[in-house]
Amino acid sequence: AGHPVPDEQSVAAARGALQVAHRTADDDLLIVLLSGGASALMALPAEGLTLGDKQETVRRLLKGGATIHELNTVRKHLSAIKGGRLAAATRAAVVTLVISDVVGDDLSVIGSGPTMPDPSTFADALSVLDARGDRASYPAAVVSHLERGERGNIDETPKPDNPHIQRSVARIIGGRMT
């Protein structure tokens, strides 16, 4: 799959992961091995967005000097799998083993946190666009999607009170238990 900009194989990988999650039962255990790079390697655009929209947005953010926290805040809000959405798609308990490439080991940022609660919001993602160019320099579909989310017309990423997220645990490989 493509890195740091996702490609069609990234989309296929994300669809495959969601298919596995959807097939689980209440008494199953979904084990996810997550490492840095997963944000690009497992990418599924949210409804109404294209892979091209996501690619252009990532390129512009990288060119604009976005930090990994900023980049992944936007990625999570343009995704059908990131920001806890993979965990929300399964009926199983989730154990995530994490190989961190993020200073401070923020689990919601590593791989854009597909199995972790997401503290960021659509408003935060819009703030990143404003700080890294301006909204007009990003694809119109991306800006529209984020603005609809900010208004509450699109569900926010799963937060810590989401029952699926509450069934998730993670461990940093070689690090501390979280």
Q: What are the DSSP calls for 62-98, one per residue?
A: HHTT--HHHHHHHHHHTBSSTTTHHHHT-SSEEEEEE
d(CA 167, CA 154): 24
* Average pLDDT of span 59-81: 96
Instruction: List, edge to edge, every strand of the sheet that includes 93-99.
Output: 29-35, 93-99, 168-172
pLDDT digits (tens, 9 = 90+) for 44-55: 999 999 999 999
What integer pLDDT is reported at residue 172 of this predicted model? 67
Question: How many other C-beta atoms are found inside a 10 Å radius of the C-beta of residue 169?
Answer: 13
d(CA 135, CA 141): 11
pLDDT digits (tens, 9 = 90+) for 84-139: 999 999 999 999 998 888 788 888 888 999 999 999 999 999 999 999 999 999 99
pLDDT digits (tens, 9 = 90+) for 14-36: 999 999 999 999 999 999 999 88
d(CA 159, CA 120): 9
pTM: 0.90
What integer pLDDT is reported at residue 177 of this predicted model? 44
d(CA 73, CA 84): 12
| Residue 166, both tokens | 């509450």
> 44: Cβ–Cβ under 8 A, 6 or more apart, which residues?
11, 14, 15, 18, 79, 80, 81
Instruction: Please check the confidence at residue 78 and state whether its pLDDT lies above 50.
Output: yes
pLDDT digits (tens, 9 = 90+) for 126-176: 999 999 999 999 999 999 999 999 999 999 999 988 877 877 776 666 654
Cα atoms in the Cβ-side hemisphere of radius 13 Å centred on 29:
7
Burial label, 114 (beta-carbon count in 10 A; 0-12, 13-18, 19+): buried
What integer pLDDT is reported at residue 18 of this predicted model? 97
